Structure 1
Amino acid sequence: MNSPLPCGCRQAAAPDRYISFKDIDCDGNARRIMDCIAQHIALPERNNAFWEYFMKKREGGSGPRPDDLFLIHSNINQVRELFETWDDQQALEWLLQLEEECC
């Protein structure tokens, strides 16, 4: 039995992942993560051969152009490591949300 929330607040509905993905902007959330990656690797000390390859792959430079969600999902550990290395807590939160809702 659910107890009422104080002040007439309503509990937000849980995302409908794995069923319809209704109300989950997976593409937009993936673009937001890509923007974070791009901001990090724009700084020379944060860029390396892997990130150059990653961005080239994003543009379709080594085959068909993958969508951002697929590319992030395929390299999620490297993306997480980038954000952890540079202590980007906001990007880590967004990455966890993307992983839980869309991957």
Structure 2
Amino acid sequence: MSCPCQNPPAAEAGKKETKPERYVSFVGLDCDAKAAELMRHIRRYIDDPAHSNAFWEYFKKKAEGGSGPRPDDLFLVHSNLNQIRELFEDKADPEALALLDRIEQECC
């Protein structure tokens, strides 16, 4: 029996794939680069003491490996989706929210 991810059904063999399928492969999604870009959006706000709080200070410490091994950016984003969404909604940042939605759909 062959793997469906390597051998599409005959009816779909001639169709061109227009959107990467995250459940088959993460190839071409560049999730690490998207997560790094999102972290830049996050840091733009939380590095300013006027916009930080105890949670974001903990987040910064965790991102730097201050409470154990340094996690990668995608793990941090995935683990804190709701808090990140709230931050961008509070700051009315549609560009960052769109990137967060894309990462959530394609990478998490």
TM-score by length of 1: 0.85
Contact 1:16 1:22 in 2 (8 A): no
Query: For the pair shown, which has the larger CA radius of gyration, 1 or 2?
Result: 2
Q: How does 1:1-103 map to 2 (within 5 A)?
A: 13-103=18-108
Percent identity (aligned): 57
Q: Structure 2: which 5+ runs fail to align?
A: 1-15
Give the Cα separation in 1 of the matches to 2:99 and 2:17: 18
Return structure 1 stretches of 4+ with deviation > 3 angstroms. Answer: none
RMSD: 1.4
TM-score by length of 2: 0.81
Give the Cα separation in 2 of the matches to 1:12 and 1:39: 36
Give the Cα separation in 2 of the matches to 1:90 and 1:44: 22
CA distances 1:42-80 after superposition (whole Å, capped 9, x unpaired): 222211111111011011100111111111111110000
Q: CA deviation at 1:16?
A: 2.7
